[in-house]
Chains A and B, each alone.
Chain A
C-alpha cells in the first residue's frame, strides 16, 4: 500500500491517494475514504476515526489487513 498525501501548514490533508496491492470490499470504499480524509488532520485519532466511519457506512472490509494498519501507512506517508 502506498499513500501520497499533501497537507497545509496546519497538517490538514489537501489531497490523498492510496494505491497498491491490497483488498478492500466494496472497492468503491477506497474512493469514499480518500474523499473523507480530505480536510481531516493528519493525526492518528482523526485518521482512525475517519477510516472507521467509512468502513461502518460502506460495510467495508480490508482482507488480510486492518483499518489500524491502513491508518499507520497513512501516518507514515511523506509529502511528495
Chain B
C-alpha cells in the first residue's frame, strides 16, 4: 500500500449491535473493492462481545449483565468473550493480503497484529505477543485480537484495555477453569491490566494516534486521512444490523454465519 490510510472514528457506543454491524460492513466493502484499506477506532458503552463460535450462556453471567444493562453481541470472528466499556478502545483493520503464497492466518497474526504492538511501543511500553493473538505488557494482557479472511482480503480487530473497569469485567465474564489447566493456553488470557494502570499519564487521544501510526507503519501507507463511512457502507451496515446483529438467533442461538 502506498496511498494514505483511511481512518474512521465511526462509533455507536449505546448500540453495540449496530457497532458490530458496521464492523462487518467495513470488511465486506473492502472485500468488494468499493473502498481502500480502512482502520476503524471505536467503543461500546457497556457490552460483552462474544466470539462467533461461542454461546452467550457459557461465557457470560447473564443475570449480572441483565441487571447492569450490559448488552450482549456476537461478532463474526472467532476467539473469546471480551467486556467493553468506554475505557476499552477497539480497532479494526480491513485490508488485502499481500505477498505471493502468504498464508492468510500468518498475515493476520504474524504481520497485521504488529500494528497494535507498534502502537504500544509508541506509547512507551515494551509489549510482547502470546498465544498468537494476545498482546501483553509486564506479563498482563492488554489487547486481544481476532481476525478473518475472505479470499484475498483480511480483517483484524482487537480490544485494547485502556481504562476499563476490570471489576465489572471479572464479574460479567465466566472464566473457563478447564482452560486454565490446559497446558497449551497460558493463563495470561485471564491476567489482564489496563494501560491507565500501567501508565496513568497516557490519554485516550494518545492511544488513538498511536494506533493510527502503528497500522500506517505496518501497512506501509504514506500517512493517513480521516473520513466518514460512505453511503453503501451505511446501507450494508443497516442491513446487517436488521438481519443479523440485532436478532436473538444471531446473538444467543449461535445461528450459522
Say whether A21 contacts B80, CB under 8 Å: yes
Interface residues of B in 125-150 (CB under 8 A from A): 131-133, 146-150
Contacts of B58 in A (CB 8 A): 2, 19-20
**Interface SS majority for chain B:** loop
Contacts of A61 in B (CB 8 A): 103-105
Task: Say how far B185's CB is from chain A's closest CB, in angstroms.
Answer: 9
**Interface range on chain B (Cβ under 8 Å from partner):** 20 to 34
- Cβ-neighbour of B148 out of A18, A27, A64, A65 (below 8 A): A27
Contacts of A28 in B (CB 8 A): 256-257
Say whether A63 contacts B132, CB under 8 Å: yes
**Interface range on chain A (Cβ under 8 Å from partner):** 10 to 19
- The answer, yes or no, to whether A26 is at the interface (CB within 8 Å) is yes
- Cβ-neighbour of A23 out of B76, B78, B81, B256 (below 8 A): B78
- In the complex, what distance in Å separates the CA atom of A19 from the CA atom of B104? 23
User: Known contacts A27-B77, A27-B78, A63-B105; is A21 also within 8 Å of B132 by CB?
Assistant: no
Across the interface, name the chain A residue whose C-beta is closest to B108: A63
- The answer, yes or no, to whether B55 is at the interface (CB within 8 Å) is yes
Interface residues of A in 24-80 (CB under 8 A from B): 24-28, 30-31, 61, 63-65
- The answer, yes or no, to whether B51 is at the interface (CB within 8 Å) is yes
Q: Jot down 12 A-B pairs with beta carbons below 8 A, ordered by A.
A: A18-B53, A23-B133, A23-B147, A24-B78, A25-B104, A27-B78, A27-B257, A31-B256, A31-B257, A63-B133, A64-B132, A64-B133
A-B complex: 10 closest residue pairs judged by Cβ atoms: A21-B80, A23-B78, A31-B256, A19-B55, A63-B105, A27-B257, A64-B132, A27-B52, A25-B149, A28-B257
Residues on B facing A (Cβ under 8 Å):
51-55, 58, 76-81, 103-105, 109, 131-133, 146-150, 176, 179, 184, 254, 256-257
